[in-house]
Structure 1
Amino acid sequence: MLTYTPTPPRSSPSFRERPWLLLLLAVAWLLPGIFSRDLWHPAEPAVFTAIEEFFAGGNMWLPTVLQQPYFEASPVYIWVAALFQKLLYPWAADAYAATRFASLLFTVIGLMCCGNAGFRLLGQHQGRSVALILIGCTGLLTMTHFLTGYSVVFAALGMCLYGFSLAPTRVIMASLLLGGGWALLSVSVGFLVPSTLMLTALVLPLSSHWRFKRYYLTLIGAFVFAWPLMSVYPFALLKSNTAAFSLWWNDFMFGPFGGMNNFQTAFSLPYYLKNILWFAFPAWPLAIWTLTRSKLAQHGWGVLASAWLLVIGFLLAINPHQYQEHLVWLLPPLALLGAAQLDGLRRGAAAFINWFGMMTFGLLAIFLWIGFFAMNYGWPEKLAERSHYFSPYYTPEINTIPLVVALLFTPIWLWAITRKHIRGRQAVTNWAAGVTLVWALMMTLFLPWLDAAKSHAPVVRQMEAALSPELKTALSNKLACIGVDRNARTARIAWAQYGTINLATDADECRYRLVQQPKGSAVPQEWDLIWEGARPRNKTEGFALLARHKPKDDIKPIE
């Protein structure tokens, strides 16, 4: 009698874990973009100026830019950036690169905390998946490699997530991390975001998964640790500068939402829904996959991530300011949800993510290589014309070390994407490798081209080249001066960083004046236009050097 014996199901192929590959990928993702470039507009010049003024004896609790309070950057970030500049400049890096290591450090802290939280909440190997998903999110690139205080926010959010994950096993460490994260958030982004996360922590016991003794002890310890720390900054600011404290209290206490006297809200949900599509990819589609596969209420991590997303999502929806960086508030829970069911991702979905990444990053890499030849060798001609249009101050420049780095990254990426038996974790790894490849090519092949477009250095050099030899001599001998308005902050910072001429702030006696206005603006009747310029394709910001028709009789040398 014929019988049918079914074929035994194939077991899923086992994959050898290689932690060193994750470390190598993280290093390759972190380092490009830190070195060999100027300060890029808009945030970097202001933050670096705040660090310089801190070095010059400024108030350690009140960052200032041109002696004006600057609440956009956390004092903690200024301290750490100043420390890195002290440690690394000039023997290991230039001043700009040395200070950027602060952003790198806080990003590493955030990645490690989120990864460890994934390990604690989801199980072995899932921490790596959380870290890979975050590396693959392009929204983290700018805050990692630029001078911006938002890397501190990412680190603080990671500390909070890690603190929640440690509550079942290590109460003291969980309390320190959770309370420290709240305190760091309060000094970085105002009191509203940490207060919202505190409220989230208080309501978690509504779920049975968070209704246990160790969690209650963690909450008590976190609040006991956080509240005194959160009061240090306002108390120190009050004692050191009463006027600045009043400004912070009235306008900046709640971060982007304002202060006690002008608390503001607006409907910003469409803006953040639109930008999260690229900012948090692939975290958000993987999180949706988890939603379709798991009942979040049945898991402690699901309750935590859902509550976090709901309350912080509401804050974003009513945020009066539309800044892409604020979407980092959602990245830790999204990455956690994305990693939860990553190993259960269907082979077709994993293959699609892998294919989409191969096509997207492969085409971008090809375009970047062709663009490199176009801007340096003039071929293809049309692309060379467009590259000159967007960065007209760029002069062809080929540096050996960046070129070698770019040549190494490309075959390594090709090797990574040609592996067989692609599953969820391998697809996410390949996506992160693709992001790293494109970023590395941009920060090696295209770095001088981007630097010429985003830095004010070429504009400053153009203005100084336009000065006559007689005027240069008079300026060096302090027989003439160039005035600038106190409110022209961009001009004052740019010429202080890249210029060789000292501008005189609000000096009406100067015959010459540097004004900050759109290129092509009308010149006042009493003045003649000597020079005007702007960064490429910038229609709202420009600079002009003016001279009076006749010098004033009472012009005196500048002391």
Structure 2
Amino acid sequence: MQNQRWHNAIPSLLTLLLVLAWLLPGLVGHDPWKGDESRSIGFVDSLLSGAPAAIPTLAGEPLPVHPPLFTWVAASAAQGLSGWLSVHDATRLTAGMFVLLALIFTGLTSRLLYSSEHGRLAVLVLIGSVGLLVRAHEAIPQSALLAGFAMAGFGFALNLRRPFIGAVLAGTGIGMAFMSVGALEALALLLTALLLPVMAPAWRRRVNLAAALVMVVSALPWLLIWPWMLYQQAPGVFAEWWHVDTLGRFAPSIAHAGRGTLYYLTFLPWFSWPAWPLALWALWKARRHGLTEPGIALPLLMFLSLLALLSLTNDPREVHGLPLLLPLALLAAGSTYTLRRGAANALYWFAMMTFLVVIAAAWVYWSAFDVGIPARLAAHMHKIQPGYAGEFRPLMVALALAYCFAWLTLLLLLKRTPQRPLIAWAAGITLTWGLAASLFMYPVNARMSYHSMITSMEPALPSRGCVASQNLNEAMRAMLDYWIDLRTLPVGSASQSHCPALLVQYDENSPPELHADWREVWEGNRPGNRSERFALYRRVRTKH
């Protein structure tokens, strides 16, 4: 009996090992990268530097683009790990923790909707999703959103067996979704809860009415406490958050006219591969009598509710579509054992051939970057990434070789089962990230980090007085505050008119045109990036 239990536990242990091999590399050991990650780390650093907990603050200025759940948790982690990790590494580990929670709840939901074997299949589909690969390793609040969405889905599924426990988890997940990114995502989950009894008879029991009340009560503290604190402490910031970053997401936009409706459907084919064809197969199999079954109705409503609301927004971005991967993974897991042998074999061989090409390309490009062979490719790569000094790093090379060896060994040991294509693909995606994190982390970090550029600019800054800024993006403002404690004053603010220095961001095709009173003392950009340029000017003292 004990041997049988151990034998049954082996697939789950191997899945856990694969998840950790996919998730852990890249969470620590590099600078904050441009874009959303730099901004998120800026919020955490501001909170640790004394900013009010209820007011999202970036480089000394209130910026309520998202509720602060991720910032709060990451700041607590950074404090607890301050003796071992930097703030940005601790923040990224926090994101990884939320992603791990999302994987756990997705697996549990799949077990409830289908069977125990389907739990790990949903996890394999999720870590195999192309769109999640990079985002799962970034310090962004959408990682907490994924955890909230997955918890809510598990609560909806558990409602069929333990209504009140499921209701508490669903309400908590809705609240986490709201406190992570905003009202739209929480509204999508509430819409799912309302539509489930309409579509699926399994949720039409009398006990579900009482459970719905428990769900609302569980969600209310998440939905009300922080907005009330923000309103009490900063009514103007609350109004900005509500009208601009909440209701404003639905405002009509000429620039994006018609784009929101189609955007998410146009990027999902690559973003959610290989989940979407498997999910479509599940819907096709259920088209006659199975659409109202829990295993179809729940993920389908979660997907359609969020897609419908996202399509009405004026700020379509792929990062907003991350929660769409969760219901697609559930549908895909449910279809695995009904997939025809020819289709399963095609996916398996496609995975094997794709990642063999990935292995070959990775080693060739690594050799060009760090060894200088072949010379022509090396010259081209260093033209793309100027200033990067290649170096042979034995530990990183050994790690990359271990990933390659493990993937090839897994392929040789895999038996021909319905699970084989998903395992091969998820392992290939894990291999891809392992190679990227071991062989290319240093050149990518040089390109994506503001640190070296800020360091080169620092000697040109005035020793006294403020620094004004013009067109400076939020990520750069956050990193100036993070790396050198510099908080610039935007042009147009009341206190910047007497600043002796001005930092300007511009595009290389549109150089700044300033008054003759300003003299350029520094110009730079992130290595290899020419579209995003920066120039520092000092005010020329004129004689009277």
**TM > 0.5 fold call:** yes
Kindly report which structure 2 residues correspond to 1:126-137, keeping only aligned pairs within 5 A, or say none. Answer: 126-137=118-129
CA contact (8 A) 1:71 1:252 kept: yes
The alpha-carbon distance between structure 1 residues 546 and 16, as it changes in their structure 2 partners (threshold 3 A), is closer
Specify the alignment match of 1:247 in structure 2. 240
Aligned-partner residue type, residue 374 of structure 2: P
CA distance in 2, matches of 1:503, 1:161: 43
The answer as to 2:500 corresponding to 1:516 is: no
Query: Aligned-pair distance for 1:547?
Result: 3.7
How far apart are residue 177 of structure 1 and its match?
A: 0.8
CA offset digits 1:328-353 (Å, max 9, x no partner) = 23222111110112022222211111
Could you tell me how far 1:151 is from its partner in structure 2? Answer: 0.5
The amino acid of 1:182's aligned partner reads: I
Aligned pair 1:342/2:336, yes or no?
A: yes
Supply the distance in 1 between the matched residues of 2:300 and 2:327 (Cα, whole angstroms).
8
Q: Report matched runs for 1:172-251 at 5 Å.
A: 172-206=164-198, 207-251=200-244
- Alignment match, 1:8: none
Alpha-carbon distance between aligned partners in 1 of 2:369 and 2:398, rounded to the nearest angstrom: 18
Deviations 1:199-236 (A, max 9, x none): 32123223322222343332221122223431222212
Deviation for aligned residue 1:123? 1.0
Equivalent residue for 1:394?
388
Alignment of 1:124-163 (within 5 A): 124-163=116-155
Q: CA deviation at 1:271?
A: 2.0
Q: In 1, Cα distance between the equivalents of 2:489 and 2:230? A: 30
Kindly state the Cα deviation for residue 241 of structure 1 after the two structures are TM-superposed.
Answer: 1.2
- Cα deviation 1:266-310 (Å, max 9, x = unaligned): 542332122111211111111012122234325122122222222
Instruction: Report the CA distance shift for 1:519/1:265 in structure 2 as closer, same or farther (over 3 A).
Output: closer
Structure 1 position 126, deviation (Å): 0.6
What CA RMSD, in Å, does the superposition of the two structures yield over aligned residues?
2.7
| 2:35 paired residue among 16, 20, 42 | 42
1:374–1:464 distance in 2 versus 1, CA, 3 Å: same
Q: Is the 8 A contact 1:519 1:534 kept in 2?
A: no
What is residue 532 of structure 2 aligned with on the other side? 541
1:4 paired residue number: none
Residue of structure 2 in register with 1:164 after alignment = 156
What is the match of residue 5 of structure 1?
none
Within the candidate set 448, 454, 458, 1:460 is matched to 454
Give the Cα separation in 1 of the matches to 2:489 and 2:65. 26
Query: What letter corresponds to residue 193 of structure 2 in structure 1?
Result: A
Q: Deviations over 1:122-159 (max 9, x none)?
A: 11211111111001012222332111100111011101
1:349-498 map, 5 Å: 349-464=343-458, 478=463, 483-485=467-469, 488-489=472-473, 490-498=475-483
| Offset at residue 481 of structure 1 (A) | 5.5
Instruction: Answer whether contact 2:283 2:291 (CA < 8 A) is retained.
Output: no
Report whether the alignment pairs 1:281 with 2:266.
no
- Aligned with 2:64: secondary structure? coil
Structure 1 match to 2:312: 318
CA deviation map 1:449-499 (0-9, x unaligned): 00111111222233347x5xxxx8xx5xx4x55733276355443333344
Which stretch has the larger CA shift, 212-221 or 358-367? 212-221
Contact 1:529 1:547 in 2 (8 A): yes
Secondary structure, counterpart of 1:529 in structure 2: strand
Contact 1:175 1:219 (C-alpha < 8 Å) held by counterparts: yes
2:3 aligned partner: none
Q: Spell out, residue by residue over 1:385-406, the C-alpha distance to the aligned partner (whole angstroms, 9 max, x if none).
A: 2321222131113333322211
Q: Say if 1:481 and 1:504, in contact at 8 Å, map to a contact too.
A: no
**Distance in 1 between the 2:458 and 2:303 partners?**
52
Determine the structure 2 residue equivalent to 1:10: none
Q: Per the alignment, do residues 49 and 492 of structure 1 end up closer, same or farther by CA in structure 2, a change over 3 Å counting?
A: same
**Match of residue 67, structure 1, among 60, 70, 73:** 60
- Give the superposition deviation at 1:175: 1.1
Deviates more, 1:318-327 or 1:405-414: 318-327
How many Å separate the matches in 2 of 1:333 and 1:526?
A: 58
Distance 1:234 1:508, change over 3 A: closer
- 3-state SS of the aligned residue for 1:530? strand
Which secondary structure state, in structure 2, belongs to the residue aligned with residue 485 of structure 1? strand
TM-score by length of 1: 0.87
Moved more, 39-48 or 15-24: 15-24
Rounded Cα–Cα distance in structure 1 between residues aligned with 2:536 and 2:186: 47
Aligned to 1:551: 541
CA 1:500 to 1:233, structure 2 compared with 1: closer, same or farther past 3 Å? closer
C-alpha displacement of 1:364: 1.4
- Paired residue type of 2:541: P
- Residue 484 of structure 1 aligns with an amino acid whose one-letter code is A
Q: 77, 81, 103: which one pairs with 1:111?
A: 103
Q: Distance in 2 between matches of 1:171 and 1:500?
A: 51
How far did residue 432 of structure 1 move?
0.8
Identity of aligned residues (%): 30
Which residue, out of 36, 40, 47, partners 1:54? 47
Q: How big is the shift at 1:523?
A: 5.3
2:439 counterpart SS class: coil
Higher alpha-carbon Rg: 1
Count of residues in Structure 1 that have an aligned counterpart in Structure 2: 526
1:392-436 Cα deviation digits (max 9, x unpaired): 131113333322211111100111122354333121111111111
Looking at structure 2, the residues matched to 236 and 426 of structure 1 have their Cα atoms a distance apart, in angstroms, of: 51
What letter matches 1:215 in structure 2?
N
CA contact (8 A) 2:42 2:479 kept: no
Amino acid at match of 1:518: D
Looking at structure 1, the residues matched to 465 and 231 of structure 2 have their Cα atoms a distance apart, in angstroms, of: 39
Return the letter of the residue paired with 1:483. V
Which stretch of the first structure deviates more once superposed, 40-49 or 309-318? 309-318
Q: Which deviates more from structure 2 when the two are superposed, residues 178-187 or residues 197-206?
A: 197-206
Structure with more relative contact order (C-alpha pairs < 8 Å, separation 6 or more) = 2
Structure 1 residues 197 and 254: CA distance shift in structure 2, 3 A:
farther
Q: What is the TM-score with the length of structure 2 in the denominator?
A: 0.89
> How far, CA to CA, are the matches of 1:239 and 1:130 in structure 2?
43
Q: Structure 1 residues 375, 500: closer, same or farther in 2, change over 3 A?
A: farther
8 Å CA contact 1:168–1:214 kept in 2: the answer is no
| In 2: Cα distance, 1:21 partner to 1:168 partner | 30
The 3 A distance-change label for structure 1 pair 160 and 25 is same
* Equivalent residues of 1:272, 1:324 under 8 A apart: yes
The 1:113–1:254 alpha-carbon spacing in structure 2 relative to 1, beyond 3 Å, is: farther
Q: Residues 446 and 284 from structure 1, CA distance in 2 versus in 1: closer, same or farther, beyond 3 angstroms?
A: same
Q: Does 1:532 align with 2:494?
A: no
- Which amino acid letter does the alignment assign opposite residue 370 of structure 2? N
Q: List runs of 5+ in structure 1 lacking aligned partners.
A: 1-13, 555-559
The residue type paired with residue 21 of structure 2 is A
Q: 1:224/1:355 Cα in 2 relative to 1: closer, same or farther (>3 Å)?
A: same
Contact 2:520 2:535 in 1 (8 A): yes
Distance in 2 separating the partners of 1:547 and 1:67: 23
1:86 maps to 79
Query: What are structure 2's unaligned runs of at least 5 residues?
Result: 1-6
